[in-house]
A and B are shown apart, each in its own frame.
Chain A
């Protein structure tokens, strides 16, 4: 996923689309919005961004899961098999992004990247509802020219890359805004 923070207005539509589409229980969320402000007046800068499980290529939650419940699927995303999850919470301790939570029914839950929608050739709920097209679903092995143009020549970053998890979420920094 490539997330263009230049156009994110922090509306939380992605959060509520996800909650509705995935029946996320009240008081929990699979994705969330962060507003980061830095600098000194009058040159303050602000970045809004949508965050979720990073579907790492080297996901510690998969590495440490004692039952194989956390696993990679055929799309390369990280999924949880609820019928093998013991709720031991090792994956939660292992995740440097704190992307998981204990579902009230006992299993561990997190963003599935709307796998059920991907299988039907649809976009994820968050991507499809984003009113500013900040969220972009990307196959990094087969990048389209649109995505190359979107990210090309701009300051992009991944979170906690030094953790060695090879996260698959890329943010286009708000510092790319004119005047930032």
Chain B
């Protein structure tokens, strides 16, 4: 008895589609990474401002209602990093001269249309908040209108910061659900991807603040980072569980990510996922930071935050690439 055969031969030749989807390369993972950090920075710095202004809590008083130097830096970095991310997004467009078309319409069913407006809406309040906490530098320029704006924003800083905290969360979730909406791509078609990218953005933002903060402020960001990593680990577990227990499309796509031998930069996805992202990017820095917070000083260079940032970047590359190299919804 001969074996049953099933073979499909197609004359479809379109590059970027055959043998698998290959439309998004390094630009989009970098944009998602920077967007996630920008959202995380905005959330953390806004929360710190509210804590300081409303509850009087903060590592130290920097004046101008700014709880610490890291908040000063983070407030500026947040819109700056998002701007760089949007540059990568622009570079990815195949029909660049028509970029204006995003901003002449609102397509209510398109997450990317909503996202393009969210990205624009992000800047005014984020920049305003950065100006208030850095007013001692900006007021040196003595521009009357800007100074008036700063005074107004300063009077309403708690409200501005509360709003910004929500915008930060929205941006972080958006970077994930941008992919979740594509039901034709089984790996991306998971609603928890938004939470995963949000928590990854928060942990990466805390790691960046940990790197930039002066020594006497680091303990706070180390604690924020450790907690964010812990929650992120739980969400990674749920993401994997949701995939492997799902229907054939989702199961296959998840196995392609967590046990796949498809190569990214010469190494199989499986090693990237478990070895680089989960172990080196989450578990090792979590252990280091828990020990540091418990008073066991390892006297290491800032290896934990660097690993968290590298893990966050690898996560975006893995998800974007593995989502394309697994076959289309069957």
Contacts and interface: CB of A to CB of B under 8 A. Distances in A.
B98 A85 contact: yes
Contact of B98 (A60, A64, A86): A86
A163 B101 contact: no
A87 B94 contact: yes
A65 B112 CA distance: 8
A169 interface: no
A94 B323 CA distance: 12
B120 interface: no
Secondary structure of the B side of the interface?
A: loop
Interface of B: 1-18, 21, 23-24, 92-96, 98-99, 101-102, 104-105, 107, 109-113, 115-116, 181-185, 328-330
Nearest to A160: B329
A105 B93 CA distance: 12
Contacts of B113: 66-67
B5 A93 contact: no
A40 B10 contact: no
A40 B4 CA distance: 5
Given A40-B4, A93-B185, A66 B94 contact: no
A85 B95 contact: yes
B184 A60 contact: yes
Interface in A97-116: 97-98, 100-102, 105-108
B21 A102 contact: no
A66 B107 contact: yes
A60 B184 CA distance: 9
A90 B13 contact: no
A84 interface: yes
Interface stretch (A30-38, A139-147, A150-158): A30-38
Would you list the 7 A-B pairs with minimal beta carbon distance, nearest first? A87-B94, A87-B95, A106-B95, A101-B14, A66-B113, A66-B112, A67-B101
